[in-house]
Amino acid sequence: SQDKVGFIGLGNMGGPMAANLVNSGHSVVGYDINPEAIERLRDVGGHVAPTPADVAAECSRIVTMLPNSQHVKNCYSGDHGIFETVKPGTLLLDSSTIDPSVSKDVAVLASKKGATYMDSPVSGGVNAAKGGTLTFMVGGPEQEFEAAKTILSLMGKNIVYCGGVGNGQSVKICNNMLLAITMIGTAETMNLGMRLGLDPKLLAGIINSSSGRCWASDTYNPVPGVFDHVPSSNDYQGGFGTALMTKDLGLAQDAATKSLTPTPLGSLSHQIYRIMCATELSGKDFSSVFQFLKDNDK
């Protein structure tokens, strides 16, 4: 029926997002390859379909929240994928962070089925997903934006139209590239200051009222003990994983290469995070680059 909303990819982000749709009174039909994720949706009152094609047969609005570009391609175009059964007029909202060119390709395939695909990646982490306070960056046909916003505003508080399909992804990967650069810069600066004998709280306090201030220094400081409720003060657990940040930096580098744009610091940041992925920090929050630098100083 018109009221049913499909949700595919019920992980750290998708799970709580789907739960917010259920709580807003919608009948949610979910799918995930992981049985535990499916159980969590059942526990909060959602329904389950056996494949993405079954979700698309039942729902005229579908949100996808998958790890990477390949997962999105499979979910839409693979065997038992959405495009096997999608109905004309269906609105497809992909909130995964993926390659903007893949978003464009999937949008073309959707339009051949008479459906509309919009990219709508998010900023804000797991807590924003739980609290329904995500920011959505939406790309696609402007006349469909209001319909997208109706659904997305049940999971977020800031829904921004960014232009044509793929533009949401472009905004997202630009932001995350800058986030990685400033996080590494904050980590190496704090480490230098501490090795010069400074107290990290004093140094952070002065940076945060001076021109070096940034989100990585004043909200998410990577040095354990500077702030209480951040991953660095909890053994770098939770938060935004090193592996996911590395993926996003790779997307930024792909886009930079294709558009012939020099991004030297984005490139270096990508390499630093790739090396971290070969260490135990792979599964930790991305602010653990401070730990990585400390492990490699003398």
Residues at the site binding ligand NAD, with contacts judged by CB under 6 A: 8-14, 31-34, 37, 65-67, 71, 74-75, 96-97, 122, 125-126, 240, 244
**In terms of DSSP H, where are the helices of the chain?**
14-23, 35-43, 52-58, 69-77, 100-112, 126-131, 145-152, 167-195, 200-207, 215-218, 242-258, 264-277, 289-295
The angle subtended at Cα 276 by Cα 281 and Cα 100, nearest 5°, is: 110
> Please, what is the minimum distance in Å from the beta carbon of residue 187 to ligand NAD?
19
Q: Of the listed 4, 73, 130, 172, which one is catalytic?
A: 172
**Choice between 97 and 263, CB closer to ligand NAD:** 97
Which of 74, 273, 260 is closest to 82 using CA atoms? 74
The alpha carbon of residue 35 and the mean position of all alpha carbons in its chain are separated, in whole angstroms, by 22
**Choice between 209 and 237, CB closer to ligand NAD:** 237
**Choice between 27 and 74, CB closer to ligand NAD:** 74
Distance (Å, whole) CA 211 – CA 204: 12
**Choice between 12 and 85, CB closer to ligand NAD:** 12
> Please, what is the minimum distance in Å from the beta carbon of residue 50 to ligand NAD?
11
Query: For the residues of 48-113, what is the DSSP string, one character each?
Result: E-SSHHHHHHH-SEEEE--SSHHHHHHHHHSTT-GGGTPPTT-EEEE-S---HHHHHHHHHHHHHT
Q: Is there a contact between 89 and 111 (Cβ–Cβ < 8 Å)?
A: no
Phi, psi of 117 (to 5 degrees): -110, 130
Residue 152, number of CB atoms within 10 A of its CB? 25
Joined together, the tokens standing for residue 133 give 């306070």
Residue number of the CB closest to ligand NAD reads 11
Distance (Å, whole) CA 248 – CA 253: 9
Residue type, 124: G
Pairing of strands 116-119, 122-123: unpaired
> Please, what is the minimum distance in Å from the beta carbon of residue 176 to ligand NAD?
8
> Please, what is the minimum distance in Å from the beta carbon of residue 52 to ligand NAD?
6
Identify whether 172 is a catalytic site residue. yes
**Choice between 67 and 164, CB closer to ligand NAD:** 67
> Please, what is the minimum distance in Å from the beta carbon of residue 97 to ligand NAD?
4
Instruction: Return all residues near 234 (Cβ < 8 A) that are at least 6 apart.
Output: none
> Please, what is the minimum distance in Å from the beta carbon of residue 25 to ligand NAD?
23
**Choice between 40 and 193, CB closer to ligand NAD:** 40
Residues annotated as catalytic are 172
